[in-house]
Amino acid sequence: MVRAPCCEKMGLKRGPWSLDEDQILTSYIQKHGHGNWRALPKLAGLLRCGKSCRLRWINYLKPDIKRGNFTNEEEETIIKLHEKLGNRWSAIAAKLPGRTDNEIKNVWHTHLKKKLTKTNSETKRVTKKPKIKRSDSNSSTITQSEQASLSFHEIETSSSASASASACTSSSDFSSVTVGESKNTKSEDIESMETISPIIDESFWSEAAALDETSTDMSSKNSLTVSNEILPLQYSSNYDEIFQQSHDYNSNFDDGMDFWYDIFIRTGDQIELPEF
DNA sequence: AACCGAGCCAACCGCCGACTA
DNA sequence: CTAGTCGGCGGTTGGCTCGGT
């Protein structure tokens, strides 16, 4: 079935709402309510689609909307709820009276995610994220937003055997991924591995163990080509050494896991090291 | 003063499930 | 059962603002 567009675009206004439009919408809803969003703009005399009216009302004009900065308590609540619920913004918003899902989503992407990353980096080594150039167009693509959604705390460690990530189709799916302990992984590695990408599965570890760890090409300037086979081994058994190599190579690297994290989700890519 | 890049956030888009004719 | 509508949701975008150079 082909879904009809939500509104007839021709002749309908888009973009930011004017004060007049806000007043018209507000007074109409206060008088008549919003029984049918689709019919509302016509009845209210607005050149907007119903969806746009609904969004404007819910996110901005509703009288119980709380404006202004989020308090520390609200931020903490969002962080805790996000740990439990993932990207279910409306569910999170339901727990925060006066805050909208859109607002919470924005505050998450602009403030809280960074805040959490910063918190993580205080306890972990953090490196500067290198630019990554895709070298395999057939490999599974991870969008910018998916990548952005993969904050460290979203992936929990467990003693289960493997991470079953192939079924993940959206960023929110990642929140439930668990990462197993490898039989050939040192305990200190495990501690650093809270952040392993969900694409890793059991074969990752067994194949890694069988490979020759000398095949990494760290020699070419500003470019580290990483094969699918090499990195798992590097990470699983030789993390510290590789980290040191990259750190020596570029002394301006910050410490941390972002670098390795990216490599994990991008194995097979060419990693471009930043120039200094 | 002009330019530029990063950050922010309101608004839009596309999809989905519920509902109805 | 099918087709269509609607409200709601999460992801994404683009324009504005601000700070740095």
Q: Residue A54 and residue A49: Cα distance in Å, rounded? A: 9
Which SS3 state, helix, strand or coil, does residue A256 take?
strand
A 97-156 residues, CB < 7 A, strand C:
101-102, 105-106, 109, 143-146, 148-149
- Per the structure, the residue whose CA is closest to nucleotide C9 at C1' is A90
Phi-psi region of A11 (alpha: psi -120 to 50; beta: other; left: phi over 0): left
Cβ of A167 near strand C (under 7 Å)? The reply is no
Q: How large a percentage of chain A has pLDDT more than 90?
A: 11
CA–C1' A221–B4 (A): 29
The interaxial angle of helices A202-209 and A230-249, nearest 10 deg, is 70
| CB distance A259 to A231 below 8 Å | no
Strands A156-157 and A223-225: unpaired
Which SS3 state, helix, strand or coil, does residue A75 take?
helix
| CB distance A211 to A229 below 8 Å | yes
- Per the structure, the residue whose CA is closest to nucleotide C2 at C1' is A1
Residue recorded with tokens 């675009």: A9
**Mean pLDDT for chain A overall:** 56
How many other C-beta atoms lie within 10 A of the C-beta of residue A37? 17
Residue recorded with tokens 């996110």: A59
Q: Is the pLDDT of residue A115 over 70?
A: yes
List pLDDT tens digits, range A39-94: 898 889 898 988 899 999 999 998 888 888 888 889 889 998 998 888 899 999 99
pTM here is: 0.51
Cβ of A33 near strand C (under 7 Å)? The reply is no
Mean pLDDT in residue range A158-176? 30
CB-hemisphere CA count at 13 Å for A233? 15
Phi, psi of A126 (to 5 degrees): -120, 130
CA–C1' A32–B17 (A): 27
Q: Which two tokens stand for residue A28?
A: 């109409």
CB-hemisphere CA count at 13 Å for A245? 18
More confident residue, A105 or A12: A105
**pLDDT for res A102:** 92
CA–C1' A40–B2 (A): 46
Cβ of A175 near strand C (under 7 Å)? The reply is no
Q: Is the pLDDT of residue A32 over 70?
A: yes
Mean pLDDT in residue range A131-141? 32
**pLDDT for res A156:** 31
CATH topology of domain A72-123: Arc Repressor Mutant, subunit A (1.10.10)
Radius of gyration of chain A (CA): 24
Nucleotide nearest to A171 (CA to C1'): C11
CA–C1' A5–B14 (A): 10
CB-hemisphere CA count at 13 Å for A224? 26
List pLDDT tens digits, range A230-240: 233 233 333 34
Q: Is the pLDDT of residue A170 over 80?
A: no
CA–C1' A16–C4 (A): 30
CA–C1' A93–C6 (A): 22
CA–C1' A1–B17 (A): 14
Nucleotides of C under 7 A from a protein CB: 3-13, 15
Phi, psi of A156 (to 5 degrees): -100, 145
**pLDDT for res A68:** 82
Mean pLDDT in residue range A183-203? 32
Q: Which two tokens stand for residue A191?
A: 């501690």
For residue A117, the one-letter residue type is T
